[in-house]
Structure 1
Amino acid sequence: MRIFITGGTGLIGRALCRALRAEGHELTVLSRHPERVAAKCGAGVQAVASLAAWTPHMAFDAVINLAGEPIVDARWSARRKQVLWDSRVTLTDELVRRINLAEHKPAVLLSGSAVGFYGDRGDTVLDENASAGTGFSAELCQAWEQAALVAEKNRVRVCLLRTAPVLSREGGLLGKMLLPFKLGMGARLGDGRQWMSWIHIDDHVALTVRLLHDPQAHGVFNLAAPEPATNRAFTAALAQAVRRPAWFVAPAWLLRLGMGERASLLLEGQRVVPGKFVAAGHPFRFPSLGDALRDVIG
């Protein structure tokens, strides 16, 4: 297949490009730094610097939309919120417009979203039928998904990838956590009762490839491991994996003082389960947190 990918140089995108190249697909990656695409995504991967480069006569069989500025890296000022919105919603709007203009319409659009869609839901178990939550991250995900669903008007099959934080040795959720934990300075966040959904990068890639190839798959999919953990349990599991104690606590008030509104990403949680994949009998390679952490930290 000829596949157009946004966000292909990111953590998930790089791993996905490796898997798709191994299957023999032709990849074109959107990047603000096209000169870096071959090094990050593989030799032979084509690069474009803007969506304007996708002209109507160019033919793609599938589109995978993974673009989005990191949501936790900077305080949520009005300006930062606009950057996050533009990198997700505005870009997806333009991507769908390019699909509409294409002479050869892709058969499928796999479009990123996040488990933040559900907001802070306490101990409620959340499958794909759960309603949307409230707050900025939930509203951002809702708008992001609605922008992608417009492609259905062109008879494009759309799958929405509500992704949990990803465990990978190349970064992601553990990128900023691993060093403090290895130094014995790991800390529980607040009271630690908030749920943390997660997924191993290998499982994320496998699920995405499955959705790409399944012509019956459409709608919302939770890309999360079937065994979410509370922050307290996650902290203990990570400490065990690095063989260090984790006796510290990061008080909620201190996190809110230092991070502002985005502290909600750490202090609020979602107990998300991959209901559709479990019902389909999909075999997760890393269903348990301990095994996933041991593989990543290895």
Structure 2
Amino acid sequence: MHILLTGGTGLIGRQLCRHWSSQGHRLTVWSRQPAKVAKICGAQVRGIGRLEDIGQEPVDAVINLAGAPIADRLWTHKRKGLLWSSRITLTETLLTWLESRDHKPQVLISGSAVGWYGDGGERELTEDSPPVVDDFASQLSIAWEETAQRAEALGVRVILLRTGLVLSAEGGFLSRLLLAFKLGLGGPMGNGRQWMPWIHIKDQIALIDFLLHRNEAAGPYNACAPTPVRNREFAKTLGSVLHRPAFMPMPAFALKVGLGELSLLLLGGQRAIPARLLAAGFTFQFTDLRAALDDLSSRL
């Protein structure tokens, strides 16, 4: 199978390249720095700087994961523009390319996030639940999904990944927490009651591969473990795994003053359940947070 990836050099993309390369698939990564792709993703992975470089070579599937990190910097007007263009504008470019193809891919698996729902409070959120809060993160994910879904009009099946907080020792949100926790300064954010939908990187890769090979798969899927936890429990468990205390709370007002609108991402949450994945027969390797963090602990 020939698979085209955007965001192939990111946390999830790198792991997908390793996984699919080992299975013998042919991989092409569309990147701003194509010369670095082979070093980051593997010697067998081809990097391209323009979609036109593929020519009319058949592509069987497209995995669209590109997007600037949403929580790395304050949401200034300029940063919001970058977050928008790195997702929606890039996906529009991908659609234009798909439209020009004589032989179109069978499936487009496109990124999204559980932030699509907004701050869900105590509500259990399945793929059938509507968005509950109209904040920037929700608007961004909604627009990203709507843009990707336009590929259906071209005869391409579209799968939408509403990904939770990915647990990995190679980067992601865990890497931003580690220093504080290792110094004994970790703890809950705000009142610590907000729900955190998490997923181990191994399950994230496995479920994408699972959906890729299911011909009937389409529409949104919550890509998170079936056991979300509250922020307070997450902090306590991470502290325990690292053998550090986790009792230093970060007051909500301090987050709001320091981070502005971005604080909504940390003080809100989603009690998201992967109802459609479970119904399709996908089996999670990690459903217990402690077991997931223990699996990563030696590399944290």
Whether these two folds match at TM > 0.5 is yes
> Which ranges in structure 1 are unaligned for 5 or more consecutive residues?
none
Match of 1:150 in 2: 150
- Residue correspondence of structure 1 range 49-88 to structure 2 within 5 A: 49-55=49-55, 57-88=56-87
Match of 1:218 in 2: 218
Structure 1 runs, 4 residues or longer, greater than 4 Å off: none
CA RMSD in angstroms, aligned pairs only: 1.0
Match of 2:140 in 1: 140
How many residues were matched structurally?
A: 297
Instruction: Answer whether contact 1:195 1:269 (CA < 8 A) is retained.
Output: yes
Q: Deviations over 1:236-261 (max 9, x none)?
A: 11011111111101011111111110
Q: Partners in 1 of 2:278 and 2:59 — Cα distance?
A: 31
Q: Deviations over 1:90-110 (max 9, x none)?
A: 111110111111111000000
Match of 1:205 in 2: 205
Q: Deviations over 1:129-163 (max 9, x none)?
A: 01023100101101100110011011111100000
Instruction: Answer whether contact 2:197 2:225 (CA < 8 A) is retained.
Output: yes
- Residue correspondence of structure 1 range 12-91 to structure 2 within 5 A: 12-55=12-55, 57-91=56-90
> TM-score by structure 1 length?
0.98
Letter paired with 1:27: L
Match of 1:116 in 2: 115
Secondary structure at 1:222's aligned position in 2?
strand
Q: Partners in 1 of 2:258 and 2:285 — Cα distance?
A: 37
Instruction: Answer whether contact 1:59 1:103 (CA < 8 A) is retained.
Output: no
| Cα displacement (A) at 1:52 | 4.3
| Cα displacement (A) at 1:50 | 2.9
Bigger shift: 31-40 or 111-120?
Answer: 31-40
> TM-score by structure 2 length?
0.97
| Cα displacement (A) at 1:280 | 2.7
Match of 1:244 in 2: 244
Q: Partners in 1 of 2:263 and 2:80 — Cα distance?
A: 14
Secondary structure at 2:109's aligned position in 1?
strand
Q: Partners in 1 of 2:83 and 2:89 — Cα distance?
A: 9
1:233 paired with 2:233, answer: yes
> Which ranges in structure 2 are unaligned for 5 or more consecutive residues?
none
